[in-house]
């Protein structure tokens, strides 16, 4: 018995001296996501996760050939900054997480990415549009979508092209909503559109007190910087009170749940339009297979930013592969992955060919103006694209 125990102890001692296997050396690699998986924004947030999951399943082959196993680590930020930061602390403490894809809300991404920056963890965002995301100059932070200082101006230019002479501007008091509303207001005034009011509100149910001064002012267009779960309710109640003008919003409005909430009210009067940095997945030449595969796997059309999330993971995987090869096929450092992301040139994603500038913005990003043409949520992706623009970020 004692002899047997001695043999076991000896074997353990020998194993401790022998180089460990790939799996024992921690050759597991994780890519994390942060997006709202619960609450009112979960329709978009869940598909950001789903797009990332599909990319890992389809694009991890090169890393697997190098001896790595790639897994998704999804986190629910609930669209809440405090939750996002708490999750970010957990993410950066896991040494096998080499990239983070997210978030949906800029107000969550900005404080959370302070944690990523401090830990040297690369962040590739599919949806965050606030200028501060990249204007901080963090080497780890990148995005494959446009910016609010451009998107807000695009919205005002569209209103001007439709002959709008007066506007009432609202926002949801978040970093995202207030920021884009301010950019809209600035450009509107520059173009000669009279801004009759500018106000912020966190209300999501009863807009009587908000609508009273708006209806009295009789603006030709009501602009709301914020999210669909607020804007669709406001727009519906405005129609019920007799407003006949145009509704205009931003990419936060881009969710099939907006049709579920707003219904026919979105089609009445002068109609409902929104700017977005993410057109329907079908608008991109390279997304046909993605849309088909997504519907087979998840049973529904992809929501906005699902295709962008797929591309963010594709970028992260390629950068990790390049960094691993440069490290002699060993697990790369987070710093090396961050450098490898920025070093990618003419990266061909399903939503386009991408190059990053020194801030982490795309050298050119797409912007769309979309008209809501159906109150049926399942037909949201068939909304009419009124304009498609390719615009470089401000210097």
Residue 225 belongs to domain spanning: 149-276+368-391
Residue 198 within any structural domain of the chain: yes
Q: 153 with 239, same domain?
A: yes
Q: 242 with 373, same domain?
A: yes
Residue 8 within any structural domain of the chain: no
Amino acid 279: pLDDT: 87
CATH of the domain at 243: 3.40.50.2300
b/e string for 275-314 if b means 16 or more Cβ within 10 A?
bbbbbbbebbeebeebbeebeeebeebbbbbbbbbbbbbb
Amino acid 395: pLDDT: 81
Q: 260 with 186, same domain?
A: yes
Amino acid 323: pLDDT: 98
Q: 266 with 313, same domain?
A: no
Asked if residue 20 has pLDDT above 80, the reply is: no
Pairing of strands 347-349, 122-125: unpaired
Region 144-169: what's the mean pLDDT?
97
Residue 65's CB is within 10 A of a number of other CB atoms, namely 10
368 closest CA partner among 353, 349, 383: 383
Q: 246 with 176, same domain?
A: yes
Domain count, the chain: 2
Question: What are the pLDDT digits (tens) for 165-216?
Answer: 999 999 999 989 999 999 999 999 999 999 999 999 999 999 999 999 999 9
Q: 33 with 133, same domain?
A: yes
Residue 384 within any structural domain of the chain: yes
**pLDDT range class, residue 267, cuts 50, 70, 90:** very high
99 closest CA partner among 394, 313, 344, 349: 313
Q: 308 with 216, same domain?
A: no
Q: 386 with 240, same domain?
A: yes
Asked if residue 336 has pLDDT above 90, the reply is: yes
Residue 56 within any structural domain of the chain: yes
Q: 330 with 376, same domain?
A: no
50, 7 contact by CB (below 8 A): no
């Amino acid at each position: 018995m004692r002899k047997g125990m001695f043999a076991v102890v000896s074997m353990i001692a020998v194993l401790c001296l022998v180089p460990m296997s790939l799996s024992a050396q921690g050759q597991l690699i994780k890519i994390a996501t942060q997006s709202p998986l619960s609450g009112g924004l979960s329709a978009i947030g869940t598909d950001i996760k789903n797009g990332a999951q599909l990319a890992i399943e389809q694009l991890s082959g090169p890393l697997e050939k190098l001896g790595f196993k790639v897994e998704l680590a999804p986190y629910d930020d609930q669209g809440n900054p405090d939750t996002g930061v708490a999750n970010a602390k957990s993410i950066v403490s896991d040494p096998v997480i080499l990239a983070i894809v997210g978030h949906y809300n800029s107000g969550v991404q900005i404080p959370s990415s302070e944690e990523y920056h401090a830990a040297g963890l690369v962040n590739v965002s599919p949806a965050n549009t606030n200028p501060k995301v990249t204007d901080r100059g963090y080497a780890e932070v990148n995005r494959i979508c446009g910016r609010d200082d451009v998107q807000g101006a695009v919205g005002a230019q569209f209103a001007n092209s439709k002959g709008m002479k007066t506007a009432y501007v609202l926002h949801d008091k978040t970093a995202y909503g207030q920021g884009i509303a301010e950019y809209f207001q600035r450009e509107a005034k520059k173009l000669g559109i009279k801004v009759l009011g500018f106000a912020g509100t966190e209300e999501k149910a009863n807009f009587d007190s908000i609508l009273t001064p708006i209806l009295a002012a009789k603006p030709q267009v009501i602009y709301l910087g914020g999210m669909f779960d607020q804007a669709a309710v406001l727009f519906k109640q405005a129609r019920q009170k007799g407003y006949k003008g145009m509704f205009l919003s931003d990419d936060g409005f881009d969710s099939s749940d907006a049709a579920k909430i707003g219904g026919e009210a979105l089609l009445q009067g002068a109609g409902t339009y929104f700017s977005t940095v993410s057109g329907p997945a079908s608008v991109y030449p390279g997304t046909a297979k993605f849309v088909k595969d997504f519907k087979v796997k998840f049973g529904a059309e992809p929501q906005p930013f699902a295709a962008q999330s797929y591309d963010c993971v594709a970028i992260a995987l390629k950068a990790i592969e390049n960094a691993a090869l440069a490290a002699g096929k060993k697990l790369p450092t987070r710093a090396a992955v961050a450098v490898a992301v920025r070093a990618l040139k003419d990266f061909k994603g399903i939503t386009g060919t991408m190059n990053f500038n020194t801030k982490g913005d795309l050298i050119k990003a797409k912007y769309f103006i979309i008209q809501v043409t159906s109150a049926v949520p399942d037909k949201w992706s068939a909304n009419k694209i009124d304009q498609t623009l390719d615009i470089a970020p401000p210097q």
